[in-house]
Amino acid sequence: MTAKTHAEPVIRRRVQITGVVQGVGFRPYVYRLAHECGLAGSVLNDSAGVDIEVQGSPESVRSFLNRLRPEAPPLSRIVTFDVSELSPNGDRNFCIVLSHGTQEQKVLISPDVAICPDCLREMLDPADRRYKYPFINCTNCGPRFTIVRDIPYDRPLTSMSVFPMCAECQREYEDPANRRFHAQPNACWKCGPQVELWDSTGKPLLGRDPIGEAVARIRAGEIVAIKGLGGFHLAVDATNNEAVERLRQRKRRFEKPLAIMVPDVHTAEMFCILNDEIRSTMQCVQRPIVLAPRREGTAIAASVAPGIHELGVFLPYTPLHYLIFAAGQFEALVMTSANLSEEPIAIDNQEALARLGNIADWFLVHNREILIRSDDSVVRVAKDKTRQIRRSRGFVPMPVFLDREVPSVLAVGGELKNTICLTRAKTAFLSQHVGDLENAESFGFFQETVEHLSRILEIEPKAIAYDLHPGYLSSQWALQQSDIRLIGVQHHHAHIASCMAENHLDDKVIGFSLDGTGYGTDGHIWGGEVLVADFAGFDRAFHFDYVPLPGGAAAIHEPWRMALSYLHHHYGADFWNFDIPFLKALDRKKADIVVSMIEKKLNSPLTSSCGRLFDAVAALLGIRNTVSYEGQAAIQLENTMSFETDAAAYSLEISNGLIKTKPLFDELLRDLSAGIPTGQISRRFHNGLINGFVTIARRLRDLHKLDRVCLSGGTFQNFYLAENLVQELESAGFQVFTQSEVPCNDGGLSLGQALIAARQIS
């Protein structure tokens, strides 16, 4: 504001913004914008978000207001934006009012963010004081969630507390006009964390270029554990099959696909077929692993993702990653979570040495502590949306915004792909990926996550929601808590509630809840469920007819058992006369044992699982008799689909609340004997399910006058099924809702549990 003696009209406006607007460079941004527009006033953080007052000519104020939202910092997320009128006062300057005390506590901590273009440029500039500094960051980028010990988000309460800033860093930190104003992890060569290369006994290689050395080891085919943002990665050259094989053997992860990090999208294009959506998702600040269709015959080693038509690709996201690619000129690195199969990712230097000493040859470590683990996120880009498969680093702890206030509850999730969820007012916070709660280490991480997330979010839950399965460690933990209300939630109901919450639905819906396993209210194993549901409850309207699961968990690992179970269910002992390759290839002795288990009802719980139906069909078609990770047979069954000939469909019998597969198996076996190619059979199978589900939806619409359909459960990771079912339902006049922000698999379960429990106590 320039002081003028003659009267120039001056107006004053107040802007109140809520959302993710703290710790993301919002105040310096407002400060700079106000200066550019020549305005007086102030900006401050308050308990709801950011409160701005601006004063100046009507034209300048208008220009400020027009630019405020569109030019907001990349990490901010504006949820509400309210402008009101104030009377002008004598303000001459624009200032940032520093907040104090408890005021700022109920704010949202930002997720960890990939290095920004400005920092990247500085890091690669030989004239910059942070040239090649592996921990360069600013208010627009760098670590956040993973370095927070407690709130408020301030340097002394982060793992940066042990690095006092040098004078130059301090100056940047205190200058409102600087890109590093209040950047809590701000650091440089002089004052910040440093990298070291250790051998597998923890002995540092002194006096050398640790990054250059690590790169040389990877080039030589060795395995290097690299400390990242949310944990260690194990890195090998992705074009060196021998190295990838060695990694698999040592990590005991035999077939599950490994993600590859590539230096840029241009290189990703060499290995995968990209489109604009995939490219922009790869480049977003969260830098998730993106599943993209792979090209045949590339330099990527065969053992990176055997039998899979997609590759998980992602771009570097820490300064250290960029320095490794710059030094090594790699086309692609396998960068997989550093753990023994199914255990949580390692985060501490000594812990990494102890747990990974037999896996990694070298350790590229640093002394900035990771306070909470956070694995890489995984997404797939569908036609219109980015769909979360594993929602973790980069997204957590960004909440899911709800459309109404809910009481605070803790939901502890399921067993596989576990996440937890805490609610507060109109927000639901899903935790990072905790993993499969099948061992003491994961269970420890689960408890740590409950404790850490409740603390940094300051949430004291009024109830705990848990899955009805008595064997889940998460449920057992919940049931041991005292002095708090405990609410058991049925698994498939939780899936549908998760989809409803994400889509801001409240009224009854038709819910297709399709997955591998979930404990039913009748004690059987559910998994192919059509519900009529809302948050208050559900009716099980249709489900797949029960078949035995011979051997329980063994049947999950061995799809051939499910094929036998279905054959026996539909044809009794007659099936032995069928002329199909599957039976000829079977070990008759083992098969007889399984059949007698079924007949004697020994260790053969009943299941309506949709996942197991896919397994049975995959085994019958000779695709897989055993699996080494969840969903493998179903993924390959989908992958074999051919689109060359007709789009016929098998039939289902839908009556009395049951989905019966007898006609489907009759037709499938006929095709199999007639030598119809498996790709064609797979497609007819998928189409049969889609037609059957549309028929069911129509019946429920007629019966209940409902036209909203929610699709959830891990089966909807099947791209063909999901896309085509949505399309068919929409052309039949339904409104269809799916999950994208939250995984449709069990990683999204806790959100649904939380909302169901919240409804019960409110």
Q: Encoding tokens for residue 379? A: 């997404």
CB of 500 to Fe ion, least distance (A): 15
Nearer to Zn ion, 186 or 625 (CB): 186
CB of 137 to Zn ion, least distance (A): 5
729 binds, among Fe ion, Zn ion, none (CB under 5 to 8 A by kind): none
- Fill in the DSSP letter of residue 417: T
Piece of the chain touching Fe ion by CB under 5 A; list 255-263, 403-411, 612-620, 740-748 = 740-748
CA distance 271 to 451: 41
Nearer to Fe ion, 671 or 746 (CB): 746
CB of 402 to Fe ion, least distance (A): 22
CB of 222 to Zn ion, least distance (A): 32
408 binds, among Zn ion, Fe ion, none (CB under 5 to 8 A by kind): none
Per CB under 5 A, the list member of 188, 225, 635, 659 interacting with Zn ion is 188
24 binds, among Zn ion, Fe ion, none (CB under 5 to 8 A by kind): none
CB of 164 to Zn ion, least distance (A): 9
Instruction: Rule CB under 5 A: say whether 119 interacts with Zn ion.
Output: yes
Q: Which residues have CB under 8 Å from 92's CB, separation 6+?
A: 1, 3, 40
746 binds, among Zn ion, Fe ion, none (CB under 5 to 8 A by kind): Fe ion
User: Strands 310-314 and 260-261: what pairing?
Assistant: parallel
For the chain, how many helices (H) and strands (E)? Answer: 23, 29
CB of 285 to Zn ion, least distance (A): 10
The count of chain residues that interact with Zn ion, using the rule CB under 5 A, is 10
Place of tokens 């940094």: 456
Nearer to Fe ion, 286 or 715 (CB): 715
For 492, counting Cβ atoms within 10 Å of its Cβ (0-12 exposed, 13-18 middle, 19+ buried), the class is: buried
Instruction: Rule CB under 5 A: say whether 116 interacts with Zn ion.
Output: yes
CA distance 684 to 700: 24
A 10 A CB-CB count for 401 gives 15
Instruction: Rule CB under 5 A: say whether 190 interacts with Zn ion.
Output: yes
CB of 13 to Zn ion, least distance (A): 30
Q: Is the dihedral of CA 260, 265, 269, 274 positive or negative?
A: positive
Is residue 692 helix, strand or coil? helix
Nearer to Zn ion, 117 or 212 (CB): 117
Instruction: Rule CB under 5 A: say whether 169 interacts with Zn ion.
Output: yes
Per CB under 5 A, the list member of 44, 65, 166, 340 interacting with Zn ion is 166
Question: Which residue spans within 319-408 are E strands per DSSP?
Answer: 333-337, 362-366, 378-381, 386-390, 400-406
Residues 465-504, mask of contacts with Fe ion (x by CB under 5 A):
----------------------------------------
Is residue 353 helix, strand or coil? helix
Contact 313, 282 (CB under 8 A): yes
CB of 381 to Fe ion, least distance (A): 23
Q: Encoding tokens for residue 281? A: 């998702």
Q: Which of residues 554-613 bind Fe ion (CB under 5 A)?
A: none
Instruction: Rule CB under 5 A: say whether 415 interacts with Fe ion.
Output: no
Piece of the chain touching Fe ion by CB under 5 A; list 73-81, 510-518, 656-664, 736-744 = 510-518
Q: Is the dihedral of CA 215, 217, 220, 225 positive or negative?
A: negative
Is residue 665 helix, strand or coil? helix
Distance of CA 306 to the CA centre of its chain: 23
Angle between helical axes of 610-620 and 662-673 (0-180°, round to 10): 20
Per CB under 5 A, the list member of 48, 95, 191, 205 interacting with Zn ion is 191
Instruction: Rule CB under 5 A: say whether 515 interacts with Fe ion.
Output: yes
Is residue 360 helix, strand or coil? coil
Residues 131-150, mask of contacts with Zn ion (x by CB under 5 A):
-------x-xx---------
Piece of the chain touching Zn ion by CB under 5 A; list 77-85, 180-188, 225-233, 688-696 = 180-188
CA distance 257 to 353: 25
Q: Which residues have CB under 8 Å from 130's CB, separation 6+?
A: 119, 122, 123, 136, 188, 189
Instruction: Rule CB under 5 A: say whether 746 interacts with Fe ion.
Output: yes
Nearer to Fe ion, 176 or 605 (CB): 605
Residue 467's DSSP bridge partners are 489
Nearer to Zn ion, 139 or 449 (CB): 139
Contact 39, 94 (CB under 8 A): yes
User: Strands 333-337 and 400-406: what pairing?
Assistant: unpaired
CB of 311 to Fe ion, least distance (A): 26
Nearer to Fe ion, 52 or 742 (CB): 742
CB of 599 to Fe ion, least distance (A): 29
Residues near Zn ion (CB under 5 A) are 116, 119, 138, 140-141, 166, 169, 188, 190-191
Residues near Fe ion (CB under 5 A) are 515, 746
